[in-house]
Amino acid sequence: MNLQNLVRKNIASLVPYSSARDEFTGEAQVFLDANENPFNEPYNRYPDPLQRKLKQKIAEIKNVTPDKIFLGNGSDEPIDLLIRAFCEPETDNIVTIDPSYGMYQVAANINDVSIRKVPLSANFTLDPMTVLHAVDLHTKLIFLCSPNNPSGNNLSRSAMHHIARHFKGIVVVDEAYIDFSPGNSLLPDLDRHKNLVVLQTFSKAWGMAGIRLGMAFASPEIIGILNKIKYPYNLNILTQEKALEMLENKGQVENWVATLINERNRISAELEKLDQVKTVYPSDANFLLVSVENAGLIYNKLVEKGIIVRDRSKVNLCAGCLRITIGSPEENNLLLEALKNINLA
Ligand SMILES: *Cc1c(COP(=O)(O)O)cnc(C)c1O
């Protein structure tokens, strides 16, 4: 893979915006270079454009060097930036698995980049050959998602490796739910595959969907391209501070994850006992894909009881399926009680 040939020409030759904080990064007594207001510390100051302090901390926890980390306004930002950096509108395409996370398609559509969806096999497994067969000369990115949303299962590691080894473009593996599936991250394989991008997020296990913080891990060369085209100050001070605070509470996060995995196993077993439930798919994430009798009706009855799940019955391979997030033990009990009392007759 030659990254300079892969990236769009206008991006390769782009001169990025150079902010005051890019041009002078050290300590000083008086900063009169960014037209900031001298009052209202600390929010009067622009944030660090490269989020060095936060990256240092994340680097320690994830066991990667800071130059392999990009931080964005949710994972949605690197998804969009990757498509913008590598795909020429109206010409290039991306390949994704189906069903999967809807943002790959939306980001491609916004950028006028076509998308080729490869159906997963039985039980939502990944066949690397079908994915590679969907690739043509204009395919720049392949998006995989493991554990996959909405199916909940991990994709096969060897299948993902096979794709990364044989594809000449960039392979993005979205690991938004990886903390619920310990030991399965592709992060340790970044050095092996120079074309691999791993996405993770603070929105799920870390309990911080509201602060909008997503991570992309990749070679320093790929990270450099994302840094070049991002908004200069894409992460605000509040987000960076809150995330640093949360990173000191890693034990808390581990407790939440343990509770949610326990609950997932309990709810899965309880759901299996209900007449309305046909299949509970195995999950490596914090949600369950459940095939039921009359999904639309059950969805509406739950709404009447104030319980909102996601109706995925229109999604490919998910006919009749609801996607149920694992909540607190109390919330999960309310769901089970409500389901037991729904009369389909
Ligand atoms: C929830 C989710 C995300 C998280 O997106 P953010 O923008 O980081 O909140 C990413 N990918 C998948 C597959 C998801 O389900």
Q: Tell me which residue has its CA closest to atom 5 in ligand 1.
A: 75
**Ligand 1: distance of its center to the CA of 236 in Å?**
19
Question: Out of 43-47, 75-79, 110-114, 179-183, which region has the weakest mean confidence (pLDDT)?
Answer: 179-183
Over residues 269-285, the mean pLDDT reads 97
Backbone angles phi, psi at 72, to 5 degrees: -140, 175
**Ligand 1: distance of its center to the CA of 53 in Å?**
23
Over residues 230-250, the mean pLDDT reads 97
The pTM (predicted TM-score) of the whole model is 0.97
Judged on CB neighbours under 10 Å (0-12, 13-18, 19+), 92 is buried
Q: Is the pLDDT of residue 203 over 70?
A: yes
Q: How far is CA 207 from the centre of its chain?
A: 14
Residues in the chain: 345
- Report the chain's mean pLDDT, rounded to a whole number: 96
Cis peptide bond N-terminal to 220, omega within 30: no
- Residue 102, ligand 1, Cβ within 6 A: no
- Residue 149, ligand 1, Cβ within 6 A: yes
Secondary structure E strands in the chain:
69-72, 93-98, 114-119, 139-145, 170-174, 196-201, 214-217, 277-280, 287-292, 310-311, 321-325
Reference 265, options 332, 338, 178; nearest CA is 332
Q: Tell me which residue has its CA closest to atom 7 in ligand 1.
A: 74
Residue 345 pLDDT grade (very low, low, confident, very high; cuts 50, 70, 90): low
Over residues 79-101, the mean pLDDT reads 98
Q: Is the pLDDT of residue 178 over 70?
A: yes
Over residues 210-216, the mean pLDDT reads 98
Atom of ligand 1 nearest to the CA of 201: 8
**Tens of pLDDT along 149-173?**
999 999 999 999 999 999 999 999 9
**Ligand 1: distance of its center to the CA of 172 in Å?**
13
- Residue 201, ligand 1, Cβ within 6 A: yes
- Residue 30's CB is within 10 A of a number of other CB atoms, namely 6
- Residue 146, ligand 1, Cβ within 6 A: no
Percent of the chain with pLDDT over 90: 94
Atom of ligand 1 nearest to the CA of 209: 9
Atom of ligand 1 nearest to the CA of 148: 13
Q: Tell me which residue has its CA closest to atom 10 in ligand 1.
A: 176
**Ligand 1: distance of its center to the CA of 201 in Å?**
7
Q: Is the pLDDT of residue 182 over 90?
A: no
**Tens of pLDDT along 30-70?**
999 999 999 999 999 999 999 999 999 999 999 999 999 99
Tell me the pairing of strands 214-217 and 277-280: unpaired
**Ligand 1: distance of its center to the CA of 209 in Å?**
9
- Residue 283, ligand 1, Cβ within 6 A: no
- Residue 97's CB is within 10 A of a number of other CB atoms, namely 25
**Ligand 1: distance of its center to the CA of 320 in Å?**
23
- Residue 76, ligand 1, Cβ within 6 A: yes
Report which of residues 343 and 36 the model is more confident about: 36
- Residue 74, ligand 1, Cβ within 6 A: yes
**Tens of pLDDT along 105-152?**
999 999 999 999 999 998 999 999 999 999 999 999 999 999 999 999
Q: Can you give the C-alpha Rg of the chain in angstroms? A: 22
Q: Tell me which residue has its CA closest to atom 14 in ligand 1.
A: 176
- Residue 180, ligand 1, Cβ within 6 A: no
Percent of the chain with pLDDT over 70: 100
Residue 335: its pLDDT value, please? 98
